Structure 1
Amino acid sequence: MSLSPHRRTSVFILAGILLLAFILRIYRLDTYGIWFDEKATLLITQGVVHEGANQHDVFDKKDSPYFTPQEFWKPKTIADYNEAIARGDIGHSPAYYVILWIWLKLFGLSDFSIRFPSVIFSTLTVLLLYFFVKRHFRQDPEVANRLALISAFIAAIEPLFIAQSHIARNYSMTFFLTLLSTHVFLVIIEKEKKRKVPLRLYVGYGALVTVSILSHYLTITVFLCHGLYTLLYVRKWPMWYKFGASFAVAIGLVALWLTYGGGQTTFFTLNHQAQFYRHIALTNPLNSTFGIVLPATVPNVFWRSLPVWSDLVLFTNGLASAAVGYRNVAVALLIGVLSVALIHRYRNQRQPPQWIKLALPALFLAGAIYYTANPLQHLVLSATLPFFYLLGAALLEDFRPNDRPLLVFLVLLSLVPTLFLLLMAFRSGHTYGITQRYSGFSFPYVIILVAILILKLSTQKLWLSLPLAAILLIQSGLIVQLLQRIYNDTAPKYTSFAIPRIANPFWASAKKIEALYAPGDTVLYPSLKRHEYSDIDKSGRPYAIIEAQLVNLYLPKDATYYQRIDPNEPDKIVLVKGRTGQKITIFDLEGMKYRY
């Protein structure tokens, strides 16, 4: 069956978008070494507890301080994996670790390998978003296809998606799973109207709910939106029962993990963390090693969440942190209000006055001349109110009445995950958890709303569309600059670093040890004093062994290299030659410089 020219063009465009998405995600994937959370990921996938609480027979032998890679790599049990997840990631993400464990068994252990599943899930999210939009926005097939392609393109260049695809954590996987769950949820509702729902769809939906929650507990916020939609718009009681049964089975399976698996420490750890960060917020909010942690007052939560809200939307990305000076912001917002007034007054007139063709550019440029800092960002800020106005107009004007439930659903999915973070901040008394990746499940739905706006903009008269399109182009340039900072490891909000990391020093150390080690030599690892904040952190030793663990992950599993912890050395990994006693510095960690 041959495709029509229109379909063939769409396929080529979609293929180009997917290729772009893949290239943007795989580019410089393993340039920088693993950071703290990825270290936990790597250890957990090998059944190793961070700091060795399940490795006393390796690091704490009574008759000898020495250990070998062969001893480090002894076979692990299910209990070891459970304990590793419980202690290393608060009993979190077992589904992700299972998938990554299988992946590493197939493709080996390296920075590139442990991050590549994130690339796959992130690219699949772009593809799934295309089919999601095309399936559920069906008022006009051609319009739905354009909307789907625009949504896929925005997802392909979304900075959060790209940044998370470079990290060996569960977020890219959960973005994909929750979008797939929402798709199946809507398909069930659609088919129930025709009484054609096979049981396997409900089973599949329940499985997706289970795997999603077992990939990240905060995915529950997406399913809360599913429940709200059911409450508001589903009027068939049998559907309530079937969805209820799916949720009950899913929650039951999650409860098994929380009761008998590695998740049994979850609630204890979450409660401890809440108390710990609340204490920091009250005693040392600005200078702690955990960053700025403020008490959860209304002003603090507002200002901390503002960048999160801003970065949800592509055309406001970065504006919350780039807007400087009350007068600059006031002028930008005033120009936005005046622009909305002009747009509202003349947008639907067949023959608006001639002066309106210059009004919007003149307004925006007048502000750009005034701004005393970050003029481009403030110029974009001045256009945000017109953008939101057009989005509201699109939602009200371009959809049929029976599309309204879907639009309300999109808005719920766009807002609820972040609102949940704010609620939890007030409940826990601190602002530490208000961060973008914890509400990243909202991004696919916000992207659809932005695509609706862009499609609306493309249908407006030139006096309106050209100035706003030019500002979107400027914002695109700012997004490109942000992507460059992400690739250069200098975007702290997305990479946690303002100074670029080096390539993985633990992998490099292991390869250097392999090359230089001879029988009779000894590898010495540094030891720092450990701070144990709770029972979960306790390993029974006062010093850290994490550097020894990480290097051994990259050493041959059958090697018998003699190694030990040097209690007198805080920073250097050293190889001591057995015949001469010569000390060769394998790597100098320089305090905490390479330990984060």
Structure 2
Amino acid sequence: MGEGRRRHPWLLWAIILLAFALRVYHLDFQSLWRDEVDALRFATRPLAQLLDTFTKPGENGPLFFLLLRPWLQVFGQSETALRFPSVLWGTLSVPLTWVLARRLLRFGATATAHAGAAGVSTLAMLLTATSPYLVWYSQEGKMYALVVALALGSVLALLWALTAAAAGVRLRWLVYIALTSLGFYLHVMFVLLLPVHAVLFALGWPSTRRHWRGALLALASFVLPYLPLVWWQWRLFTSPTFDPGFSPVSLPRMFAILLVAFGRGMRGVPTIGLVSVWVFLLLAALLLAGGKPGSWRRPVIILAAWLLVPPLLLFVITLRVPLFNDRYLIYLGPAFYLLSAVGAYLVAQRSRALAAGALLLALSLNLVGVGGQAVTPIKADFRTAAAFVQAQRGPTDVLIFLHPYSRFTFAYYAGWDYAWREAPFTNDRQRVSLDSTGAVLTRLVQGADHVWLIESEAETWDRRAFNRQWLDAHGEPVVTHAVTGVRVTRWALR
């Protein structure tokens, strides 16, 4: 990997091993949540149905499910088996961050800046390895860890192509096209990285001018094969009935959510004030990049574009349909930590003590975040809830699921050997009342003596709690149990 590896190979390998250890530790601590169970369901459905999703509007991540399918066939469908590929992809992102940082920081920087590239790259690698946000999604059975690895590989392949000699340029452009195209089928928001690639190409001018044919070929490869898919997605996007279920988010709040996510992870502690150290490091990189010693201006602008352009484009999209979720932009993580590492290095040129203090606080935030996630239940705990119901329910009990979609997660732990019903939807205020809800429930529980209500994300289906009100009025609650994200209650009906 270059001079830095020859000097301190043990340090790089130690960081990689640390990344793997953090990602594999307590891998099955959190219960599976609905998206992970969906990954199992989608990956194991008939192959013809799975392949059809590559051309259906509204489908997201069909490539991930196709890749997951043979893995599950070999290693089974346990929580650990489902999540372990994410561990591997998340760990791979750490050395990829090091390689990309070395190449990107030398892209147009001065010789003096080159001297600091090894240290900045190693620091970015360490911040990425200990990131609580990236560790979290490296422990989830979804595509997000792979999205980060593929985003790194895509940018690295572009840099590789732009620095190619004439003999090897075609192969390098084909690698770039292949990796980027795979990203489109891994997550729909991957396409928002293309403007960042365009910024990189533009900032390399005039040296990148000789590669304009390869760039045009790549652009054509990204556009022409996907025109039918774009048309289908556009029809879905502009449909008056399309509702993805997200709430509108302002642009400042969008950036604040992303800062909190990358700055302290999923647990929500420590306080937001301490997270401002990341703002300090990011601003230091942006403000000091053009000063002496050395010029880091070009790589810093590329990283800033990587960090800012995708959220801006997503915000424009959300003006039509709310679609923001922080994990959809998880591939901003490498830019966040690499830009922070640059900021720490540039601050250190002026005050080593200040840079050391900022880095110590940033690393402490990372490790506290990772440690808290590893021992704190955060996802809806269907594992415990299902075990409780299975131990308490009678053979003739009826289970009602509220939200109904949670039945799949419950069934992962409890199977389907029981009578179950979907709770009636009550959030339509114009056409649904307590009486109409009661009429539906009367039919659903006819002949049952005992009924369970399995509640998770209930407010999205029954904000006024009509289901619970009717059960309280027509039965006696005999047992209730609440865990993280799930409440189960058993009624004896009168």
Give the match for residue 255 of structure 2: 305
Q: 1:396 is paired with a residue of what secondary structure?
A: coil
Alpha-carbon shift at residue 411 of structure 1 (Å) = 1.8
Give yes or no for the alignment of 1:422 onto 2:394: no
Equivalent in 121, 126, 144 of residue 94 of structure 2: 126
Question: Residues 439 and 241 from structure 1, CA distance in 2 versus in 1: closer, same or farther, beyond 3 angstroms?
Answer: same
CA contact (8 A) 2:98 2:121 kept: yes
Alpha-carbon shift at residue 99 of structure 1 (Å) = 1.1
Give yes or no for the alignment of 1:240 onto 2:212: yes
Give the match for residue 304 of structure 2: 411
CA contact (8 A) 2:4 2:118 kept: no
CA contact (8 A) 1:209 1:247 kept: no
Which has the higher Rg, Structure 1 or Structure 2? 1
Give the match for residue 184 of structure 2: 213
CA contact (8 A) 1:86 1:92 kept: no
Question: Residues 249 and 405 from structure 1, CA distance in 2 versus in 1: closer, same or farther, beyond 3 angstroms?
Answer: same
Give the match for residue 330 of structure 2: 440
Amino acid corresponding to residue 10 of structure 1 in structure 2: H
Give the match for residue 67 of structure 1: none
CA contact (8 A) 2:383 2:410 kept: no
Deviations 1:203-222 (A, max 9, x none): 21111111001101111111
Give the match for residue 471 of structure 2: none
CA contact (8 A) 1:571 1:588 kept: no
Alpha-carbon shift at residue 416 of structure 1 (Å) = 0.8
CA contact (8 A) 1:210 1:251 kept: no
Question: Residues 81 and 32 from structure 1, CA distance in 2 versus in 1: closer, same or farther, beyond 3 angstroms?
Answer: farther
Give the match for residue 139 of structure 2: 166
Alpha-carbon shift at residue 398 of structure 1 (Å) = 4.1
Deviations 1:346-377 (A, max 9, x none): xxxxxxxxxxxxxxxxxxxxxxxxxxxx6xx6
Q: 1:115 is paired with a residue of what secondary structure?
A: helix
Alpha-carbon shift at residue 240 of structure 1 (Å) = 2.8
Deviations 1:413-464 (A, max 9, x none): 1211121222222333x5xx3332222222212222111122233333xxx3
CA contact (8 A) 2:36 2:141 kept: yes
CA contact (8 A) 1:181 1:205 kept: yes
- Within 2, Cα distance between the matches of 1:181 and 1:5? 24
CA contact (8 A) 2:399 2:418 kept: no
Q: 1:441 is paired with a residue of what secondary structure?
A: helix
CA contact (8 A) 2:124 2:338 kept: yes
CA contact (8 A) 2:90 2:138 kept: yes
Give the match for residue 466 of structure 2: none
Q: Structure 2: which 5+ runs fail to align?
A: 422-443, 446-450, 455-479, 489-494
Within a 5 Å distance, the mapping from 1:77-96 to structure 2 comes to 77-79=47-49, 82=52, 90-96=58-64
CA contact (8 A) 2:402 2:453 kept: no
Within a 5 Å distance, the mapping from 1:12-411 to structure 2 comes to 12-47=10-45, 76-79=46-49, 82=52, 90-138=58-106, 139=111, 143-191=116-164, 194-231=165-202, 233-235=204-206, 239-255=211-227, 266-267=233-234, 269-271=236-238, 276=243, 293-294=247-248, 300-309=250-259, 311-312=261-262, 314=263, 378=273, 381=276, 384-385=279-280, 388-389=283-284, 392-400=287-295, 404-411=297-304
Amino acid corresponding to residue 20 of structure 2 in structure 1: F
Question: Residues 439 and 552 from structure 1, CA distance in 2 versus in 1: closer, same or farther, beyond 3 angstroms?
Answer: closer
Q: 1:526 is paired with a residue of what secondary structure?
A: strand
Question: Residues 450 and 527 from structure 1, CA distance in 2 versus in 1: closer, same or farther, beyond 3 angstroms?
Answer: same
- Within 2, Cα distance between the matches of 1:571 and 1:181? 47
CA contact (8 A) 2:22 2:370 kept: no
Give the match for residue 551 of structure 1: 411
Equivalent in 501, 517, 525 of residue 381 of structure 2: 501
- Within 1, Cα distance between the matches of 2:130 and 2:223? 35
Alpha-carbon shift at residue 29 of structure 1 (Å) = 1.1
Alpha-carbon shift at residue 179 of structure 1 (Å) = 0.9
Amino acid corresponding to residue 373 of structure 2 in structure 1: I
Alpha-carbon shift at residue 406 of structure 1 (Å) = 3.3
Alpha-carbon shift at residue 126 of structure 1 (Å) = 0.4
Instruction: Give the TM-score taking structure 2 as reference length.
Output: 0.73
- Within 1, Cα distance between the matches of 2:99 and 2:191? 23
Give the match for residue 470 of structure 1: 357
Question: Residues 448 and 135 from structure 1, CA distance in 2 versus in 1: closer, same or farther, beyond 3 angstroms?
Answer: same
- Within 2, Cα distance between the matches of 1:170 and 1:393? 36
Deviations 1:466-487 (A, max 9, x none): 2453344234333333223322
- Within 1, Cα distance between the matches of 2:159 and 2:169? 14
Q: How many residues align?
A: 430
- Within 2, Cα distance between the matches of 1:308 and 1:594? 30
Alpha-carbon shift at residue 322 of structure 1 (Å) = 8.5
Question: Residues 111 and 386 from structure 1, CA distance in 2 versus in 1: closer, same or farther, beyond 3 angstroms?
Answer: closer
Amino acid corresponding to residue 144 of structure 1 in structure 2: A
CA contact (8 A) 1:134 1:145 kept: yes
- Within 1, Cα distance between the matches of 2:204 and 2:294? 17
CA contact (8 A) 1:32 1:504 kept: no
Q: 1:21 is paired with a residue of what secondary structure?
A: helix
- Within 1, Cα distance between the matches of 2:171 and 2:135? 33
CA contact (8 A) 1:118 1:169 kept: yes
Amino acid corresponding to residue 146 of structure 2 in structure 1: M
- Within 2, Cα distance between the matches of 1:548 and 1:167? 17
- Within 2, Cα distance between the matches of 1:383 and 1:564? 52
- Within 2, Cα distance between the matches of 1:552 and 1:5? 50
Give the match for residue 537 of structure 1: none
Q: Structure 1: which 5+ runs fail to align?
A: 48-75, 278-289, 324-373, 514-520, 531-543, 556-560, 573-586
Question: Residues 301 and 249 from structure 1, CA distance in 2 versus in 1: closer, same or farther, beyond 3 angstroms?
Answer: closer
- Within 2, Cα distance between the matches of 1:562 and 1:147? 56
Q: 1:481 is paired with a residue of what secondary structure?
A: helix
Question: Residues 253 and 550 from structure 1, CA distance in 2 versus in 1: closer, same or farther, beyond 3 angstroms?
Answer: farther
Question: Residues 434 and 305 from structure 1, CA distance in 2 versus in 1: closer, same or farther, beyond 3 angstroms?
Answer: farther
- Within 1, Cα distance between the matches of 2:281 and 2:141? 38
CA contact (8 A) 1:380 1:471 kept: no
Deviations 1:81-101 (A, max 9, x none): 6369969xx311111111111
Question: Residues 114 and 509 from structure 1, CA distance in 2 versus in 1: closer, same or farther, beyond 3 angstroms?
Answer: farther
Instruction: Give the TM-score taking structure 1 as reference length.
Output: 0.61
CA contact (8 A) 1:118 1:166 kept: yes
Give the match for residue 457 of structure 1: 347
Q: 2:31 is paired with a residue of what secondary structure?
A: coil
- Within 2, Cα distance between the matches of 1:414 and 1:545? 34
CA contact (8 A) 1:85 1:94 kept: no
- Within 1, Cα distance between the matches of 2:68 and 2:385? 22
Give the match for residue 536 of structure 1: none
Give the match for residue 485 of structure 1: 372
- Within 2, Cα distance between the matches of 1:528 and 1:441? 35
CA contact (8 A) 1:212 1:219 kept: yes
CA contact (8 A) 2:307 2:332 kept: yes
Deviations 1:105-157 (A, max 9, x none): 12111111111111111110001111112234344766322222111101001
Amino acid corresponding to residue 392 of structure 1 in structure 2: L
- Within 2, Cα distance between the matches of 1:468 and 1:523? 66
Question: Residues 473 and 234 from structure 1, CA distance in 2 versus in 1: closer, same or farther, beyond 3 angstroms?
Answer: closer
